[in-house]
C-alpha cells in the first residue's frame, strides 16, 4: 500500500510495517504477498538473494522516507536482516 494512502503523520504500527515489507518483497520476488510469513527466512524460505534484499531495502527507504524524513537502513545493519521479522523489527525500532 503506497504511503500516500495513509494519513500523513500517523505513526505506523507493527502490522502496517509488516504489510509494507510483505508487499514490497512480493513485488520484488514476483510472488503473492500472502505467501510471505513474518517468520520466513529470506534465503531459506523465500529464495531471496542479496540483490533482492538490496531492492527491498531501497524500496523501504523510498516508501518510509515519505513518512519519516531521512529514514535509512544503516549499511552495517544489513547483514543482520535474515528474515521478514528482522526487517519488520528493524523498521519498527527505527521509526519508534
Instruction: Give the whole-angstrom CA distance, residue 10 versus residue 16.
Output: 11
Nearest to 3 by CA among 14, 16, 58: 16
Domains located in the chain, CATH noted: 10-95 (1.10.1200.10)
Q: Does the pLDDT at position 2 exceed 90?
A: no
pTM, two decimals, is 0.86
pLDDT tens by residue, 35-86: 999 999 999 999 999 999 999 999 999 999 887 878 899 999 999 999 999 9
pLDDT tens by residue, 19-31: 999 999 999 999 9
Nearest to 5 by CA among 63, 53, 56: 63
Measure the N-to-C terminal CA separation of the chain; round to a whole number of Å: 20
Q: Higher pLDDT residue, 96 or 77? A: 77
Amino acid at each position: 500500500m503506497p504511503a500516500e494512502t495513509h494519513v500523513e503523520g500517523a505513526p505506523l504500527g507493527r502490522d502496517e510495517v509488516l504489510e509494507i515489507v510483505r508487499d514490497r518483497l512480493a513485488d520484488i520476488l514476483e510472488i503473492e504477498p500472502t505467501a510471505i510469513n513474518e517468520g520466513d527466512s529470506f534465503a531459506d524460505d523465500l529464495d531471496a538473494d542479496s540483490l533482492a534484499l538490496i531492492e527491498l531495502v531501497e524500496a523501504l527507504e523510498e516508501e518510509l522516507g515519505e513518512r519519516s524524513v531521512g529514514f535509512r537502513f544503516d549499511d552495517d545493519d544489513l547483514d543482520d536482516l535474515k528474515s521478514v521479522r528482522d526487517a519488520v523489527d528493524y523498521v519498527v525500532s527505527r521509526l519508534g
